[in-house]
């Protein structure tokens, strides 16, 4: 088959080395759940099938170009794999094409990225070193001019392997490529490299969707919203905050597991705990963000739409037509502003804020930021709130103002003099220091309440506090299991997506509300409290205080929570006990999910409808009846 005798060809050596490395990464670096022998087998063969196809293409080049293709192919593949590893360590997710267009954020990441790099990472490039050395010393021996017959057979074999891999994956997970919201399933079955190819196809498709949209889809979507997600709102609380200021505090990376919890015998969040005595507190409130993190939480609250499954809407669709909260309340006599001591272009906020109707954005240029009052991502929360109060005092009332904190952000750095609780002791430095920055943020919020009272703004305002997204990803399972003294299961992971949500109305008694709720519900809740009637609005949330509200909360990955069940990764759990619900007379995955099955179609439909609105920019075709 070859024109001259040679040892194992270099392309095969590269395929074996790169395939082995990729499998090791899949199995021991990425936290990919494997539930049966078939999934184990697919995960094992996929890296080698992928690597063989990539490197077998080199045989169509002459010997010199073969070497170049193999050398730079294995380097590029290794870099793609490594970038996914670093990203996964923080977000437990894989990079998408839209994220690559958010490169303007990278310059601000600083220590966040450095904290994700490990010393042993250099070993991930050993195969690159080996291939490059072999190419340099024995390149002529390990490459050859292959016969046409050999080329055809090798290429056909690689295609056969790909088809076989996909057939096994489709048999294990039917309609695999329709599960675009679950990137782990795609990587587990077709591999990270073909996942990136598929992601590029999806990105192109979503870009084209706006061009071909004509608004006809809105008929079906608006009908669904009116029937399933529209209520009259709680009549008792309707308009209770009419003409009052609305102060919304976005609590960076704050999860509910620290509320009313202790470390070293001390309360982690003493002020927030005490705030429950005179606030409405929703103890089963879930964040619904995806790759846009804080910007996603903002987008959900402002629009009561779901975030994009890939990338951040603030970047990918910032110029769309929306019917946002700032725009609506602006037409009802409110001025609106955002306070965030960070670069105004981070998450493309300067563009998005203007589009959705915010009147003013107080970014880092509005603050006196020094080396002494900064840490991690910038201005500490205490000076942030202290310096912000003067701007509120100058505002015409009523106003809607959103405050976004910074200190409790990965990698959770804090100056020693600001730490008022000892760090935790586990194998995760991230979790160890998380409690300290959470405590600092809690103290900063306490200070801010005092500033509002001193400024005479407290009594004329309602104050809403919300955790924006998780702070501790499931990359830190061992440490979280240690702290919570529980086994870290898929069920627990979903439950850890709960974030604090307070509605503080001075003069109102406190109440803990246990009903399932989410960020998608915030916009209609605020509008109802302010007494603003938006009967023509299109949103997927319902008033949090309404007893007739929608009975499930959907997460962006297709998981969902009801009053009785938690559904995630094809399994249905009892929400109260965490026990897996299984049928004694059925054994397949459909049986396991039977209790949750009535909700599955509706959740997927709702996520799809929201995507259609965003990708097609459908609100440009809708008359909201605004004057």
Helix H segments across 394-517?
A: 429-454, 477-484, 490-495
For residues 602-614, average pLDDT: 95
Number of domains in the chain: 2
Q: Does the pLDDT at position 590 exceed 60?
A: no
329 and 411 assigned to the same domain: yes
Question: What is the average pLDDT value for the chain, to the nearest integer?
Answer: 89
203 and 241 assigned to the same domain: no
Is 350 part of a structural domain of the chain?
A: yes
Largest Cα separation within the chain, whole Å, is 90
Q: Which one of 22, 96, 294, 542 is the catalytic residue?
A: 294
64 and 111 assigned to the same domain: yes
Helix (H, G, I), strand (E, B) or coil at 249: strand
Task: Quick: pLDDT tens for 562-578.
Answer: 999 999 988 999 999 99
Assess whether 294 carries a catalytic annotation.
yes
CATH at residue 406:
3.40.720.10
Distance CA 601, CA 436 (A): 42
Calculate the alpha carbon distances from 9 to 58, 67, 72, 131 in Å: 11, 11, 16, 11
Using pLDDT thresholds of 50, 70 and 90, give the confidence band for residue 474: confident
Cβ proximity of 491 and 566 under 8 Å? yes
Distance CA 585, CA 597 (A): 17
Q: Does the pLDDT at position 435 exceed 80?
A: yes
Q: What is the DSSP string of 52-93?
A: HHHHHGGGGS-HHHHHHHHHHHHHHHHHHHHHHHHHHHHHSS
188 and 243 assigned to the same domain: no
The residue from 208, 243, 261 where one domain ends is: 208
Task: Quick: pLDDT tens for 195-211.
Answer: 888 878 877 777 788 88
Q: DSSP code of 385?
A: H
Q: Does the pLDDT at position 112 exceed 50?
A: yes
Q: Long-range contacts: 177-184, Cβ < 8 Å, 24+?
A: 179/558, 180/309, 180/310, 181/309, 181/556, 181/557, 181/558, 181/607, 182/557, 182/558, 182/569, 183/93, 183/94, 183/96, 184/32, 184/33, 184/94
Distance CA 180, CA 612 (A): 14
Cβ proximity of 517 and 553 under 8 Å? yes
Is 223 part of a structural domain of the chain?
A: no
Answer with the residue of higher pLDDT: 335 or 200: 335
Distance CA 571, CA 574 (A): 10
For residues 310-326, average pLDDT: 91
Answer with the residue of higher pLDDT: 91 or 199: 199
Mean pLDDT highest for which of 90-94, 158-162, 586-590? 158-162
Task: Quick: pLDDT tens for 43-89.
Answer: 999 999 999 999 999 989 888 888 999 999 999 999 999 988 988 88
pLDDT for position 582: 65
* Lowest-confidence pick of 192-206, 296-310, 390-404, 446-460: 192-206
* For the chain, percent of residues with pLDDT exceeding 70: 93
For residues 332-348, average pLDDT: 91
pLDDT for position 421: 96
Parallel/antiparallel/unpaired status of strands 266-267 and 262-263: antiparallel
Is 309 part of a structural domain of the chain?
A: yes
pLDDT for position 304: 97
Strand partners, 83: none
Answer with the residue of higher pLDDT: 95 or 484: 484
* Lowest-confidence pick of 232-246, 394-408, 486-500: 232-246
For residues 503-521, average pLDDT: 94
Q: Which run of H or E residues covers position 206?
A: helix 183-212
**pTM for this model (two decimals):** 0.82
The residue from 208, 242, 266 where one domain ends is: 208
State both tokens at 169: 């994956």
pLDDT for position 246: 98
The residue from 523, 552, 581 where one domain ends is: 552
Distance CA 188, CA 169 (A): 9
- Other beta carbons within 10 Å of 350: 16
Is 598 part of a structural domain of the chain?
A: no
Residue 377: phi and psi, rounded to 5, are: -85, 0
Q: Does the pLDDT at position 622 exceed 50?
A: yes
163 and 274 assigned to the same domain: no
Answer with the residue of higher pLDDT: 26 or 1: 26
295 and 395 assigned to the same domain: yes
Is 567 part of a structural domain of the chain?
A: no
Is 1 part of a structural domain of the chain?
A: no
What is the domain extent for residue 513?
Answer: 233-552
């Amino acid at each position: 088959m070859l024109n001259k005798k040679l040892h194992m060809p270099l392309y095969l050596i590269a395929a074996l080395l790169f395939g082995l490395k990729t499998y090791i990464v899949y199995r021991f670096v990425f936290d990919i759940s494997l539930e049966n022998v078939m999934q184990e087998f697919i995960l094992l063969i996929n890296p080698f099938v992928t690597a063989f196809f990539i490197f077998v293409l080199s045989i169509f080049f002459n010997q010199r170009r073969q070497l170049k293709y193999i050398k730079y192919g294995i380097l590029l593949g290794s870099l793609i794999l490594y970038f996914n590893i670093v990203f996964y360590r923080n977000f437990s997710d894989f990079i998408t094409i839209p994220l690559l267009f958010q490169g303007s954020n990278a310059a601000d990441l600083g220590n966040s990225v450095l904290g994700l790099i490990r010393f042993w990472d250099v070993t991930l490039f050993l195969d690159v070193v080996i291939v490059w050395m072999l190419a340099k010393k024995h390149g002529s021996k390990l490459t050859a001019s292959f016969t046409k017959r050999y080329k055809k057979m090798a290429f056909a074999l690689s295609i056969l392997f790909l088809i076989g891999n996909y057939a096994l994956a489709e048999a294990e997970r039917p309609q695999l490529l329709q599960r675009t919201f679950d990137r782990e399933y795609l990587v587990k079955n077709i591999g990270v490299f073909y996942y990136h190819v598929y992601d590029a196809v999806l990105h192109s498709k979503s870009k084209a969707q706006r061009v071909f949209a004509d608004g006809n889809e809105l008929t079906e979507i608006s009908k669904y919203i009116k029937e399933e997600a529209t209520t009259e709102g709680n009549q008792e609380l309707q308009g209770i905050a009419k003409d009052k200021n609305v102060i919304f505090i976005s609590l960076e990376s704050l999860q509910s597991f620290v509320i009313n919890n202790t470390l070293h015998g001390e309360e982690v969040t003493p002020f927030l705990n005490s705030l429950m005595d005179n606030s409405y507190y929703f103890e089963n409130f879930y964040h619904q963000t995806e790759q846009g993190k804080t910007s996603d939480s903002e987008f959900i609250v402002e629009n009561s739409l779901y975030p994009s499954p890939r990338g951040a809407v603030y970047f990918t669709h910032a110029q769309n037509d929306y019917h946002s909260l700032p725009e609506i309340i602006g037409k009802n006599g409110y001025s609106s502003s955002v306070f965030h001591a960070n670069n105004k272009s981070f998450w493309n906020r300067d563009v998005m804020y203007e589009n959705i109707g915010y009147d003013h954005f107080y970014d880092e240029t509005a603050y006196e930021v020094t080396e002494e009052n900064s840490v991690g991502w910038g201005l500490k929360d205490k000076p942030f709130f202290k310096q912000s109060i003067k701007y509120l005092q100058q505002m015409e009332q009523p106003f809607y103002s959103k405050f976004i904190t910074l200190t409790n952000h990965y990698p959770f750095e804090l100056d020693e003099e600001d730490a008022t609780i000892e760090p935790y002791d586990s194998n995760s430095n991230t979790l160890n220091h998380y409690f300290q920055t959470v405590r600092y943020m809690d103290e900063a919020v306490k200070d801010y309440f005092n500033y509002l009272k001193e400024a005479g703004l407290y009594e004329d305002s309602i104050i809403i506090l919300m955790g924006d997204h998780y702070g501790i990803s499931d990359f830190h399972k061992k440490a979280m299991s240690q702290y919570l003294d529980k086994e870290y299961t898929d069920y627990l992971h979903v439950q850890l997506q709960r974030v604090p949500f307070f509605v503080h109305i001075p003069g109102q008694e406190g109440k803990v509300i246990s009903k399932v709720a989410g960020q998608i519900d915030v916009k209609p809740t605020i509008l109802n409290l302010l007494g603003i009637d938006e009967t023509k609005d299109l949103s997927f949330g319902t008033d949090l205080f309404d007893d007739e509200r929608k009975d499930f909360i959907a997460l962006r990955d297709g998981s969902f929570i009801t009053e009785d069940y938690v559904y995630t990764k094809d399994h249905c759990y009892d929400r109260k006990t965490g026990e897996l619900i299984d049928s004694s007379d059925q054994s397949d995955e459909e049986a396991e999910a039977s209790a949750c099955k009535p909700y599955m179609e509706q959740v997927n439909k709702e996520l799809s409808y929201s995507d259609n609105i965003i990708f097609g920019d459908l609100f440009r075709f809708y008359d909201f009846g605004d004057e």
